[in-house]
């Protein structure tokens, strides 16, 4: 209904409120969830390398590349698969299947998971796609990881009936790179 210019009213409804009045009159929206509920609903992502499950570190930037072109490097150990060009930056790609002597299942499609940012970014060849894990239960006693990971696994969790280890992959890759350069 058009405003009546002489009275400033819109028919029986009275005058139009100013924007400030309209905003002041609106009720605050209810909170979508309580903080405790949000913490319980926090999602971590897990990925598989061979028979082992790993977690993307809390706060670690990750990016998935389903079928990247990887450029091999001659005369380096097989675990260093090569480099991938990501947004003009060369990112080293590591195949932990080789270090762990744990080949991927024959029917599994491999993907590349980039972890970190800037010059510390690394790529890991993983089996399939990462999966969201909602209810991680810490294990009371850390199982013995493979020898090559022993110094890098900090904690482990159970989710969806599987074990998921949290490990410092950046430190592992640095140690492997140092061996390669020696």
Domains defined for the chain, CATH in brackets: 41-181 (2.40.50.180)
| Average pLDDT taken over every residue of the chain | 84
In this predicted structure, the answer to whether residue 10 has a pLDDT above a threshold of 70 is no
Weakest-pLDDT range from 40-44, 90-94, 123-127: 40-44
Residue in 33, 30, 63, 31 with CA at minimum distance from that of residue 45: 63
The string of pLDDT tens digits covering residues 75-109 is 888 999 999 999 889 999 999 999 999 888 888 88
The string of pLDDT tens digits covering residues 151-169 is 999 999 999 999 999 999 9
Residue in 89, 15, 70 with CA at minimum distance from that of residue 7: 15
Q: How, if at all, do strands 89-94 and 122-133 pair?
A: parallel
**Cα separation, 16 vs 69, whole angstroms:** 61
Quote the distance between the C-alpha of residue 11 and its chain's center: 57
In this predicted structure, the answer to whether residue 8 has a pLDDT above a threshold of 80 is no
């Amino acid at each position: 209904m058009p405003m009546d210019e002489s009275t400033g009213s819109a028919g029986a409804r009275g005058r139009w409120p100013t924007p400030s009045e309209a905003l002041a009159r609106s009720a605050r929206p209810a909170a979508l969830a309580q903080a405790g509920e949000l913490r319980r609903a926090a999602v971590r992502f897990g990925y598989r390398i061979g028979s082992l499950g790993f977690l993307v570190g809390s706060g670690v930037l990750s990016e998935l590349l389903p079928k990247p072109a990887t450029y091999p490097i001659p005369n380096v150990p097989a675990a260093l698969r090569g480099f991938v060009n990501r947004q003009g930056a060369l990112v080293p790609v590591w195949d932990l299947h080789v270090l762990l002597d744990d080949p991927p299942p024959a029917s599994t499609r491999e993907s590349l998971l980039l972890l970190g940012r800037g010059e510390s970014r690394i790529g890991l060849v993983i089996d399939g796609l990462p999966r969201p894990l909602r209810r991680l239960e810490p294990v009371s006693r850390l199982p013995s990881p493979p020898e090559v990971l022993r110094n890098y696994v900090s904690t482990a969790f159970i989710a969806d009936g599987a074990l998921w280890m949290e490990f410092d992959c950046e430190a592992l890759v640095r140690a492997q790179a140092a061996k390669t350069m020696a």
